[in-house]
Amino acid sequence: MTAIEIRKISLDDLVPLQEISRQTFQETFAAYNSPENMKSYLKEALSIEQLTAELEDENSAFYFALQNEQVIGYLKINFGAAQTELKESQALEIERIYVSKEFHGKNVGQLLYDKAIEIAKQKGSEYIWLGVWEKNSRAIRFYEKNGFVEFDKHLFKLGDDEQTDLMMKLKLNR
């Protein structure tokens, strides 16, 4: 397999970011949710306007995973006020790690995860946290394998459906 490059995303990458965001969200969740709720989420949460605002937030960062210049996955991390819940200065949130289905099991998610750990350590974060849908057993196993433990739950609204996310945390050795 050709080497995978991890590269920071800029506003110039807005269209490929929207494409990979919508593709991977659809691949991951379409089988478990109504077409109406999926359409609503993709239209609102992954619109050009919303992604532009997220890219322009200095407390968020996005990274592509690329193979032969093809976008095959991405990472979104948040610090400080950009975090979706805890908003603690000593924490970093992994808001999204998504990989194209054809690249599952090929270490792409691990490389994106490793990038998040690297940045958290550079920023002096004490821990990393995230929310993962309680029915996404593949992702839960991935995070548990990497040392995350569940510490709470929160609601995630997908269209008109309220779903439960497990909140997981990893304390970093600094």
Catalytic residue among 63, 74, 113, 143: 143
41 is catalytic: no
Decide if 117 contacts 130 (C-beta within 8 A). Answer: no
In this structure, what token pair is assigned to residue 30?
């379409």
Q: Which residues of 42-66 are buried (b: 16+ CB within 10 A; e: fewer)?
A: beeebeeeebeebbeeeebbbbbbb
Take residue 48 and report the two structure tokens written for it.
């050009």
Neighbour tally for 106: CB within 10 Å = 17
HSE-up of 105 (CA within 13 Å, CB side)? 2
Phi-psi region of 133 (alpha: psi -120 to 50; beta: other; left: phi over 0): beta
SS3 160: coil
**Catalytic site positions:** 143
